């Protein structure tokens, strides 16, 4: 029996700051092929950018994590304009910065090449303003960093459901609620505390924000915004939403124009976060087994003890070199095979000749993907692995199925494994190998050949091992 129960944690200097990145009305925002409009008529809720910084010492290179209420990048160049400026302005190591997009489908276009669309003239100025806000809040987070502890607890939330549904009329899968499908409902929440109380919270959850669809005429950060409202009203501290490995996961009820539905989903997630927070140990403490009290039954007594008061041999740091203050970051490139697909030049020609609005949207996305991966037979996919005490952050720029987070968490049960899709870019889906024989959106959308996700899992496993179990 383990004589102590403590939360996976990191202790060091932690900073947090937030900025507003609400897009302007009139900006091009057609994210659905079925949409009949190009711009929104109103703003549902403000869009935000929130920075969290981690350091072991003031003179140490920080780990910078930024959560953005945005959809997905269409091109590598547009993403790099933002991240490259942040790296240059603050002198940051590329391995030490992860920007995670919430993946709202009711946000603006992030593609400067859409300048020829209705409202496209607003895109470049908007992206410049997002860049400036991200730089500003990162500076503020580093300037406000204080001694604090980041602790994690794992639970569940019933919001996410399997969204690969066998079509009852055709031999294919469609994107929508599958009541018989298996879904990873894992919710991992973080609590940042200093001597005065909660400084920030983090919610890592895998679920597509696809509630507001082609009918919606409002710009919206979707359910993460309502989740934050619930949590922040209770804690008085910023809450970061980190989109997990949600390739096959979405709410049961979606594809609507009713913002009340996405708000209801956000409250469901928010109350699940608060439930987990309420059940956590006091900050920087552990439950310690204190023996048996004989009564009507033999009672096992556990007491809450400050970690600083634990004897060295019972402290939860099994390896001093990877203790609660350890920080490490790795950025590696994983070589993935590509499927056979038309060249970028061929796709451009097809798009020029296309007059169908829905088909044209599909071709445009496929063309952007082909430009991103190149015309070769393989491409290199970046993978970020951070170790912060008992915490591991895993970030990549694709849309992996939940198998990625499930397998890594099973392999390292003593660590808090935070997995994030859509980090520092966006390319394509990563479904498991066995689905490549199916007529499935994620399979025909992805540029990656069978086995890509499995290779990414293997690479992540190796890097986590290098940074210590």
The pLDDT tens digits for 376-396 are 889 999 999 999 999 999 999
* CA triple 183-187-193, angle to 5 deg: 175
Q: Hey, how many other C-beta atoms are within 10 angstroms of the C-beta on 97?
A: 24
The count of other CB atoms within 10 Å of the CB of residue 28 is: 23
Whether the Cβ atoms of residue 395 and residue 384 lie closer than 8 Å to each other: yes
C-beta of residue 54 within 8 angstroms of C-beta of residue 388? yes
Over the Cα atoms of the chain, what is R_g? 22
> How many Cα atoms are found within 13 Å in the side-chain-facing hemisphere of 427?
24
Of the candidates 113, 22, 37, 24, the one whose C-alpha atom is nearest the C-alpha of residue 70 is: 22
User: What is the predicted pLDDT for the residue at 310?
Assistant: 83
pLDDT of 347 strictly over 80 = no
Sequence-distant (≥ 6) Cβ neighbours of residue 412 within 8 angstroms: 392, 464, 469
Q: What is the pTM of this model?
A: 0.94
* Residue 101 scores a pLDDT above 60: yes
pLDDT at 66 over 80: yes
The secondary structure of residue 115, as a DSSP letter, is G
Length of the chain: 469
Compare 468 and 218 and report the one with higher pLDDT. 218
Query: Do the Cβ atoms of 175 and 429 come closer than 8 Å?
Result: no
At 387, list the tokens: 């170790």
pLDDT bucket at 369, cuts 50 / 70 / 90: confident
Answer for the pair 216, 106: CB distance below 8 angstroms, yes or no: yes
For 293-306, write each residue's pLDDT tens digit: 999 999 999 999 99
First to last CA, the chain: 20
Confidence of residue 321 (pLDDT cuts 50, 70, 90): very low
pLDDT digits (tens, 9 = 90+) for 208-229: 999 999 999 999 999 999 999 9
φ and ψ at 352, to 5 degrees? -65, -35
Collapsing DSSP states into helix, strand and coil, what is residue 118? coil
Give the confidence band of 312 by pLDDT, cuts at 50, 70, 90.
low
Give the mean pLDDT of 279-293.
Answer: 95
């Amino acid at each position: 029996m383990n004589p102590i129960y403590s939360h996976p944690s990191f202790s060091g200097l932690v900073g947090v700051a937030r900025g507003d990145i609400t897009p302007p009305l009139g900006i091009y925002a057609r994210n659905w092929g079925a949409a009949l409009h190009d711009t929104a008529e109103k703003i549902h809720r403000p869009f935000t950018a929130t920075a969290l910084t981690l350091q072991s010492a003031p003179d140490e290179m920080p780990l910078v994590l930024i959560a953005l209420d945005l959809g997905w990048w269409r091109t590598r160049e547009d993403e790099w304009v933002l991240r490259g400026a942040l790296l240059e302005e603050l002198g940051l190591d590329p391995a030490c910065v992860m920007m995670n997009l919430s993946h709202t489908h009711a946000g603006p276009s992030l593609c400067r090449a859409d300048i020829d669309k209705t409202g496209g003239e607003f895109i470049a100025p908007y992206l410049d303003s997002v860049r400036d806000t991200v730089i500003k809040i990162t500076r503020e987070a580093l300037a406000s960093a204080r001694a604090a502890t980041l602790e994690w607890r794992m639970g569940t939330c019933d919001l996410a459901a399997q969204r690969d549904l066998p079509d009852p009329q055709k031999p294919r899968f469609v994107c929508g609620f599958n009541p018989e499908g298996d879904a990873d409902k894992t919710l991992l929440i973080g609590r940042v505390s200093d001597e005065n109380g909660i400084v920030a919270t983090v919610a890592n959850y895998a679920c597509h924000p696809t509630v507001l669809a082609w009918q919606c005429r409002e710009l919206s950060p979707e359910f993460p915004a309502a989740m934050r409202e619930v949590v922040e009203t209770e804690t008085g501290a910023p809450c970061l939403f980190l989109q997990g490995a949600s390739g096959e996961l979405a709410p049961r009820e979606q594809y609507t124009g009713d913002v009340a539905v996405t708000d209801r989903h956000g409250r469901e997630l928010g109350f699940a976060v608060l439930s987990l927070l309420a059940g956590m140990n006091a900050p920087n403490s552990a439950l310690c087994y204190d023996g048996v009290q004989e009564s009507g039954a033999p009672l096992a007594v556990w007491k809450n003890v400050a970690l600083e008061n634990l004897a060295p041999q019972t402290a939860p740091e099994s390896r001093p070199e990877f203790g609660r203050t350890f920080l490490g970051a790795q950025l590696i490139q994983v070589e993935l095979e590509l499927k056979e697909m038309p060249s970028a030049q061929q796709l451009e020609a097809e798009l020029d000749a296309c007059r169908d609005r829905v088909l044209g949207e599909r071709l445009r996305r496929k063309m952007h993907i082909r430009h991103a991966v190149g015309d070769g037979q393989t491409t290199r996919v970046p993978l970020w692995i951070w170790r912060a005490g008992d915490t591991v952050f895993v970030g990549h720029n694709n849309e992996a199925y939940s198998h990625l987070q499930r397998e890594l968490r099973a392999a390292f049960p003593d660590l808090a494994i935070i997995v994030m899709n859509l980090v520092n870019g966006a390319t394509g889906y990563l479904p498991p190998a066995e689905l490549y024989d199916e007529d499935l959106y994620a399979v025909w959308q992805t540029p990656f050949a069978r086995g890509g996700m499995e290779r990414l899992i293997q690479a992540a496993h190796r890097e986590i091992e290098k940074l210590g179990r």
